[in-house]
């Protein structure tokens, strides 16, 4: 039987997702401002680029550990870093979306992908470590 959820595939997908999101925020903050219907502002662009740097850093961390065991005591700091990100971002996104009159499809997609990846990291948190 082929196992669909493996640590290597999950961390690879997560690294690619965050890496692309990070690069988009770093190099195209003005486009992100337009997508989110924000007023053009140098401070907002700086914050978007700094956030992109954080996303890209987390992506690189996940890419580097994708082939190693994760779970239990193995790669615990990396697992906790990813998990804590999602434990903060998911409730924040949900609260923001609930309080909006019009839902932004971009933020809904971000919330859904965050729930999917957050659930994956919760699963890894309780999973016995394997290298697959």
pLDDT, tens digit, 9 for 90 and up, residues 62-106: 999 988 888 767 888 999 999 999 999 999 999 998 988 777 788
User: What is the pTM assigned to this prediction?
Assistant: 0.85
16-69 pLDDT, tens digit each: 999 999 999 999 988 888 887 778 889 989 999 999 999 999 999 999 998 888
DSSP-assigned letters across all residues of the chain: ---S--HHHHHHHHHHHHHHHHHHHHH-HHHHHHHTTPPP-HHHHHHHHHHHHHHHHHHHHHHHHTTS-BBTTBTHHHHHHHHHHHHHHHHHHHHHHHT-SS--HHHHHHHHHHHHHHHHHHHHHHSPPB--
């Amino acid at each position: 039987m082929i196992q669909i959820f493996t640590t290597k595939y999950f961390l690879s997908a997560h690294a690619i997702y965050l890496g692309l999101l990070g690069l988009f925020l770093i190099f195209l903050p003005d486009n992100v401002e337009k997508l989110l219907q924000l007023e053009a502002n140098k401070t907002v662009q700086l914050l978007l680029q700094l956030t992109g740097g954080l996303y890209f850093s987390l992506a690189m961390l996940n890419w580097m550990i994708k082939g190693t065991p994760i779970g239990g005591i193995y790669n615990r700091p990396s697992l906790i870093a990813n998990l804590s990100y999602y434990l903060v971002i998911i409730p924040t996104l949900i609260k923001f979306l609930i309080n909006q009159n019009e839902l932004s499809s971009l933020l809904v997609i971000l919330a859904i992908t965050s729930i999917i990846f957050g659930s994956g990291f919760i699963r890894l948190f309780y999973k016995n470590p394997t290298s697959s």
